Amino acid sequence: MNILFIGLGNMGAPMAAHLANAGHALTVTNRSQSKITQWLGNNVGQALPSPDALPAETDAVILCVCRDEDVEEWLIDNGIINQLSPGALIIDHSTTSAGLAERMATAAAENDVFFCDVPVSGGQQGAENGQLSLMAGCAVEAYERLEDLTAPYTKAIAHMGEPGCGQKTKMVNQICVAGLIQSLAEGIHFAQESGLDAEKVMSLVGQGAASSWQLLNRHETMIKGNYNHGFAVSLMHKDLQICLQEAKVRGVDLPVTAIVDAYYQQLESGGNGDKDTSSLLLRLKQHGKMQEEP
């Protein structure tokens, strides 16, 4: 297929590479020219000359950007949505609001184009290894093509419903992950403050009911104070704000999510927005020191 891939960050670059390696014809673009140059230096493809010059016969547009505004800018402000032929797919792997997905689907349908909100889980490691989990919100008639196209970087995929349902499913994912990371941070912090060998403790409890992906993959780096892995604090804070806004509209109480989001906001305000989400342990350590000060 002829694919335009928008967004060559930590997630997008390896995903686009998997598609190129699978034999698809890739045209790529990104806000920063350096990332385009870097990607083209390692993969077969071409750069998009300008947003109003989509290659002829583009079968699909795939986005992996950050915010609602980014998706709207690329598709609406830059006119990409109006350049696609009837039947083309737009696959948005960004994490956005459900309302944005619903609006984009309506706009795409006016041109007989399918908009699919397909947020992913698995982080940078999952993207690099082609082991992502995809949550798809799209029309039934678009799902089979979507499933086939994304197969090179997919471990698991499910059709969750109409546009917007993929984003709501990702909200569930982020709600669960936030609570897990905070619990893991507290467990490690308690072990360290109690004079235990924290790594030994985590290795043991990770074989029982306390086990989780976060514990198995992050406890060692957390104990070492290494927070340069995967998903950034600033992005998690953005995602949890989306969760909390959606919950407010629906009258759903998310007390733990609200607390953990406030902790991420504290980290971001303290200059730690680029650290990964496991840095909740760093916040605990810093908070403890602040409490001890006269």
Q: Which residues are catalytic?
A: 170
Query: In degrees to the nearest 10, what's the CA dihedral of 263, 256, 202, 281?
Result: 0
Q: Which residues of 253-287 are buried (b: 16+ CB within 10 A; e: fewer)?
A: ebeebeebbebbbbbbeeebbebbbbbbbbbbbee
Query: Which residue(s) pair with 26 in the sheet?
Result: 3
Answer for the pair 58, 82: CB distance below 8 angstroms, yes or no: no
Q: How far apart, in whole angstroms, are the C-alpha atoms of residue 49 and residue 51?
A: 7
Q: Are 181 and 230 in contact (CB under 8 A)?
A: no
CA 81 to CA 211: how far, in whole Å?
Answer: 44
Token pair listed for 101:
């997905």
The tally of CA atoms less than 13 A away on the side-chain side of residue 140 is 0
Locate all alpha helices (DSSP H) within the chain, ordered by sequence: 12-21, 33-42, 68-72, 80-83, 98-109, 123-129, 140-150, 165-193, 198-205, 213-223, 233-250, 255-267, 280-292
Burial 174-196 (b: 16+ CB within 10 A, else e): bbebbebbbbbbebbbebbeeee
